Amino acid sequence: MAAERTTWVLVDGENIDATLGGSILGRRPQPDERPRWDRILTYLADEWNQETRGLFFLNASTNLPMSFVQALLAMGYQPVPLSGDADEKVVDIAIQRTLRALQERGGDVVLLSHDGDFVDDLGRLADGRRLAVLAFEEFRNAGFAQIPGIHFFDLEYDAGAFDAQLPRVRIIPIEEFDPLQFLR
């Protein structure tokens, strides 16, 4: 690994969970349908050949799921439990503040979210560092595509973050098309 560079991995867990449950599955995910968060850090470390530092933002306004926090710590993430008033989007506020703080620091940035609220702040980091959004491609906010040089990674297809195949309809690049997948 290149010791001089770091990839900051900012996880909007609420957004990923809501997209998975509400838009893809239409129900609460089963255990094997949940992301394997450790694979994300490993995938990104391998992809960009450098250290990853994961910050996992959690809304802890009503409770703090300690077993999940312990699991995140064991996987190498720094949990960021937040609280606020019911009308405050505490996770969004914290990620936006973190993106702004990263303007004064080095390192590359990968955001795990579909949320367009982060487009402007992530775009301000397009100063030569590597930037990426890792999410479900079909639900990613189109505004991210306007950021110069941004990379896109799919949570399931690129990062391999799931044990079970999700029921997604994927646009298939013609060079990857295998008709036998459809002739079963």
User: What pLDDT sits at residue 1?
Assistant: 46
The residue behind tokens 């409770």 is 63
CA 96 to chain centroid, in Å, comes to 14
Decide if pLDDT at 2 tops 50. Answer: no
**Is the separation of the CB atoms in 133 and 152 below 8 Å?**
yes
Per-residue pLDDT of 118-139, as tens digits, reads 999 999 999 999 999 999 999 9
**∠ CA 83-139-182, rounded to 5°:** 140
Decide if pLDDT at 4 tops 50. Answer: yes
- Per the structure, how many domains does the chain have? 1
**∠ CA 51-140-183, rounded to 5°:** 100
Decide if pLDDT at 3 tops 60. Answer: no
User: Over pLDDT 70: what percentage of the chain?
Assistant: 98
**∠ CA 75-18-29, rounded to 5°:** 70
Q: What residue type is assigned to position 143 of the chain?
A: G
Burial code (b: 16+ CB inside 10 Å, e: under 16) for 9-20 equals: bbbbbbbbeebb
User: Over pLDDT 90: what percentage of the chain?
Assistant: 80
Give residue 176's pLDDT band: very low, low, confident or very high (50, 70, 90): confident
Per-residue pLDDT of 35-51, as tens digits, reads 999 999 999 999 999 99
Decide if pLDDT at 83 tops 60. Answer: yes
Residues 181 and 63: their CA atoms lie apart, in Å, by 44
Calculate the average pLDDT of the chain: 93
CATH code at 145?
3.40.50.1010
Decide if pLDDT at 30 tops 70. Answer: yes
User: What pLDDT sits at residue 126?
Assistant: 96
Residue 93 domain boundaries: 2-181
